[in-house]
Amino acid sequence: MKRAWVLIGVLAAGVLLAPFVVPIFAPWSEINCEHPDINIKTGQARYSRSLWFVKVSEQIKETPLSLALRGETVDVADIEAWHRVNTFSPGVRHSPHYVFHSALFQARQMEMIDTLLQPTPKRKREIARAILTAWQKSGQTSGADEYIHDLIEE
């Protein structure tokens, strides 16, 4: 009987601790990770969390780009809307590189552009459209790098 309780205790500990131990040896495993994604047609961000290979939460949030667009969708290329930005695991704060790896950073740069240029709402919408268009046409965030750099220099 005592052996059965020990076995149950070891199994329970394994189940409870695995999501925290496995990422040390196998980072970015779906056993316990967090994924931010970007919608390159609306500028919205999606944050999801997986535990034991099951998505346990998902939340869509507005970014400065989607706020500037006021619900408008930019669709200029035949490309999927949602793309992975990062994958994070407990204790591992770096991520594998994805083609839209800097998308959320570029979306936040819209706030800096807003502070520096103080554009009208119409100009903000034009800037957001241009960034999403560059992402869609190039298939990666580097397509918008020069445009954003030029805006910040302006």
- Per-residue pLDDT, averaged over 88-92, amounts to 82
Nearest C-alpha neighbor of 25 from the set 94, 89, 84: 89
Which residue type is seen at 62?
E
pLDDT, position 116 = 84
Q: From residue 49, give the alpha-carbon distance in Å to each of 59, 87, 95, 136.
A: 9, 10, 15, 26
Contacts of 92 (CB under 8 A, 6+ apart): 23, 24, 27, 28
Contacts of 15 (CB under 8 A, 6+ apart): none
- Per-residue pLDDT, averaged over 135-148, amounts to 90
Strand, helix or coil for residue 52: coil
Residue 62 has pLDDT above 90, yes or no: yes
pLDDT grade for 21, boundaries at 50, 70 and 90: low
pLDDT grade for 52, boundaries at 50, 70 and 90: confident
Residue 80 has pLDDT above 70, yes or no: yes
Q: What is the separation, in whole angstroms, between the first and last Cα of the chain?
A: 76
